[in-house]
Structure 1
């Protein structure tokens, strides 16, 4: 539960793919009311902020897809790891 605040900050402020629910005191630290949640959902589903968040999420999804295809950055990283493990295994055997 302790990392929830960190994760929320990353999703909202860094990745720009989430919406923080404002609360009864106008911050994210108060208590959410039904109206607070309702207003946030409406903004997310119909508002300009929601449209921007959806576009940001699509961009991240595309980047993730590119990273895992053959010759993508994740593919290269895993390939290098496998090569390194094979190399170390050979060193141990000799």
Structure 2
């Protein structure tokens, strides 16, 4: 619906309140897609189950944004590669991370849950809306500018003389 190309790493849904679902064997995740979705999105999107090389995807220049569950590694990787985010935190500290990215750092947007559903459903129109925010217009340019500044700060911190490198070296020598 957004008109933008996408790569979707698809996992079957889980009722698990922890990250244990990531390593569990699950049924075919394609069974959860709306009927005809793969045909309708052919040429526009690519859906792969259940894993993709995230760093390589984020590093690629054609990647314009990143929908993330707000795990700390994903946040750091998106920051290092300068990708604005759509945040979709399922549990635990991920919700706090989402608030930080959206409200404090202003490098992400968060889709709104549809009030007509009891289970926290985000409808496709809302997904399209936040994709367009990240990829288009003034709001998208502002997200790009802010994440670029954060990317530069991260690059300095992990450089040979950066604060992160020095602190890790000090820790290793003590």
The Cα shift of 1:73 comes to 0.8
Give the equivalent residue in structure 1 for 2:140.
Answer: 50
Give the equivalent residue in structure 2 for 1:34.
Answer: 124
* Residue 167 (structure 2) pairs with residue 80 (structure 1): no
**TM-score under structure 1 normalisation?**
0.71
The Cα shift of 1:45 comes to 0.7
My pick for the range that moved more, 9-18 or 74-83, is 74-83
Gaps of 5+ in 2: 1-90
Of structures 1 and 2, the larger Rg is shown by 1
Distance 1:72-1:9 versus aligned 2 partners, 3 A rule: same
Distance 1:83-1:37 versus aligned 2 partners, 3 A rule: same
Q: Please state whether the residue corresponding to 2:111 is helix, strand or coil.
A: coil
Q: Please state whether the residue corresponding to 2:109 is helix, strand or coil.
A: coil
Gaps of 5+ in 1: 85-94
The CA RMSD measured in Å over matched residues stands at: 2.0
Superposition pairs for residues 1-40 of structure 1, below 5 Å?
A: 1-25=91-115, 31-40=121-130
Residues matched between the structures, number:
81
The Cα shift of 1:74 comes to 1.1
Over 6 Å off, 4+ runs: none
Structure with a larger share of its residues in helix: 1
The Cα shift of 1:57 comes to 1.0
Higher RCO (Cα < 8 Å, 6 or more apart): 2
Give the equivalent residue in structure 2 for 1:64.
Answer: 154
